[in-house]
Chains A and B, each alone.
Chain A
Amino acid sequence: MISYINYFVSYTNTPGSCRTPNLRKVFQIQTLQKLEIRSFPFTTPNIAPVMLRLLLRNSRLAPRRLPATTRITVASYNTAQLDTSLGPKYDSITDYGSYRNSVFTHRLPESTALQSPQLAALHSRLRLPQEYTFSTLSQALNMDKFGGLANNFGLSTLGKTFLSYYISEHLLLKYPRLPMPVHNAAVDAYMGVEVLAEIGRSWGIEVDRSSKLDKALAKEPEFLQYGRLRYLSERSKELKAEETGVHELSAEELQTMNNSTHQFVHRETEAFASSVRAIIGGIYTHCGEEATKTFIHSHILSRKVPLQEMFQFSRPTMELARVCEKLGLEDPLEIRLIAETGRLSSHAIFMAGAFVGKEKLGEGVGSSLGEAKTRAVVNALISYYMYSPISAEGTEIKLPSEEKYQFEGIVGTGDVAI
């Protein structure tokens, strides 16, 4: 629980974070939540309770409060950054209506955008509503800041905000006990740059790679380029043949360089991801919030994230003991051997269970006593963290962004709220 409270404090205190009323509702509910554990009644009849180890000692394993410095801020999903390249001016930094760019850009006329076959195909492929104009779609594919046409920076920021809202809403309500690092990794698995770029590629967005000279020589109509993803500068388009195996990092790529892993976000990856975000932002500007939500749920949240493969415990038994302590369970945590075969052979199999009194929290099979124990404990931990509430009718619970939302999801006797 402590980590959750910390998490929300840090999350809501992030400067410039998106603060929609709905979002705040989620946080309030979350901080109110009460955690208790309910588990399977212990029913298996044939258990030889061989106690392997008595683990819980009250004095040693009292839950420690995390120091304030260990609060981890979320990787700025919600933080909008100002684009200074177009010389923005404003009266007051919080008065968003007063923001104006001093470098002039204009929007592509709809009549020109309508001629582009790529835009028509993309519009139809994504089943975008009629109100979504082709010029906005073309703008969503434009990363070029200095070409005189409006770029996708604003739309992309908008789309990112909606993505992060609906994805964190989904994760927080469906998996309320997810630890913060796993929650962040899950958000990344849904809307990280690589994932969004993969989605963009699967939508059949093409990159504009031909220079002005090539276009003139091929007698290509002008409107064809407006349906392609434009992020390459004229110079890099002319320098076509890059030496294989050698890649010169641009300034943007250098910024994303991770010094420990030596990995960076390729400019093309970033361009695809930003175009996907901008297309989502465009849905909001033309069709409103409900359509945006539907789109995100059907295209992003319909993908599968293997949440239970994303946990890494360094000392699982300690962790489980700490969880039991935190929940105030009366009986001590015990690991018992449930079944075994071939102890003296080369292929022994043991089955261990993590028990608190008569309740079995988890069960694991391994080829040694230690392995079985660790698997049992890890299973117990994962089943605790992966808890997902259901409504009183046995369906999935409602989300705060749905209509007529009210607090629900209390399951069993005095179980976890939310």
Chain B
Amino acid sequence: MPVKAIPKVSIPRNGVSSFVRPCYKVSLQYCNWGGSSQGVRDFLTHPNKLVDRFAQNNKDVMFEILSKGGHPTFTFHYANGQKQAVDVRNLKVGDVARKLQEYMHRSGNEPFKFNHKVLSNNESVRGIWSPFHVAKNDRHRI
């Protein structure tokens, strides 16, 4: 007769009182010879030290630079186990930087179209309207 418990797992709420950035590692892969890697090479050897500045501003992300044949790719590793390889061939320096920034802001979750405004785990504060709680004279009569 005593109460039994149903085991549950707590639901993560990243961003509530603590935030851990989901993108934890980026590998920048380029080719030292190919023309499609020119933008990435320019980005890496930019006189303004763009890569250094990126690393300074995003200390919570690990940057890995790989020199390998083929078209250049950036691989983003996310906390949910997803890896996203982004093709950056034939891009200019500015576009390369923009791509890098954009994918570091993501969480690795599947993109979705959301036609509502708020996504909530909590039950409704005001409760849901019920016909039984209306005064009896005002109820709909069948």
Contact = CB atoms under 8 A, between A and B. Distances in A.
Say if A and B assemble together: yes
Contacts of B17: 297-298, 302
A204 B24 contact: yes
A206 B78 CA distance: 11
Interface in B104-142: 121-122, 130-133, 135-136, 142
A19 B55 CA distance: 45
A268 to B, nearest CB: 12
B107 to A, nearest CB: 10
Contact of B8 (A127, A299, A305, A339): A305
B60 A304 contact: no
Contacts of B133: 44
A310 B142 CA distance: 39
A186 B6 CA distance: 9
B9 A198 contact: yes
A351 B132 contact: yes
B13 A311 contact: no
Given A121-B61, A179-B2, A185 B121 contact: no
A189 B9 contact: yes
Interface string B11-43: 111101110111011000000000000000000
A129 interface: no
Interface string A298-335: 11001111100111111100110000000000000000
A93 B63 CA distance: 47
Contacts of B131: 341
B135 A181 contact: no
B94 to A, nearest CB: 25
Most buried by A among B20, B79, B80, B142: B20
Q: Chain B's interface: helix, strand, loop or mixed, by majority?
A: loop
Interface size on B, as a range, is: 35 or more
Given A192-B9, A305-B10, A338-B132, A318 B20 contact: no
Given A125-B20, A204-B24, A185 B60 contact: no
B132 to A, nearest CB: 4
A204 B81 CA distance: 9
Nearest to B77: A204
Contact of A179 (B3, B11, B61, B80): B3
A255 interface: no
A117 interface: yes
Interface residues of A, number: 56
B4 interface: yes
A117 B62 contact: yes
A208 B108 CA distance: 22
A77 interface: no
Nearest to B81: A201
Given A189-B8, A304-B121, A299 B3 contact: no
Given A204-B25, A302-B17, A306-B11, A312 B6 contact: yes
A365 interface: yes
B9 A194 contact: yes
A213 to B, nearest CB: 21
B142 to A, nearest CB: 8
Contact of A185 (B2, B7, B18, B22): B7
Most buried by B among A204, A309, A311, A318: A204
A270 interface: no
A382 B131 CA distance: 24
A409 to B, nearest CB: 22
B5 A303 contact: no
8 contacts: A126-B20, A182-B5, A185-B7, A198-B12, A202-B80, A206-B25, A304-B122, A310-B7
Given A189-B8, A341-B131, 18 more contacts: A120-B59, A179-B5, A182-B5, A185-B5, A202-B14, A202-B79, A204-B20, A204-B22, A204-B79, A206-B25, A299-B18, A302-B18, A303-B10, A304-B10, A311-B5, A312-B3, A312-B5, A312-B6
Give 10 closest A-B pairs by Cβ, nearest first. A204-B24, A185-B5, A125-B60, A298-B18, A303-B10, A124-B59, A46-B136, A181-B5, A312-B4, A121-B62
Interface of A: 3, 44-46, 117-118, 120-121, 124-127, 179, 181-182, 184-186, 188-190, 192, 194-195, 198-199, 201-204, 206, 297-299, 302-306, 309-315, 318-319, 338-339, 341-342, 349, 351, 365, 385
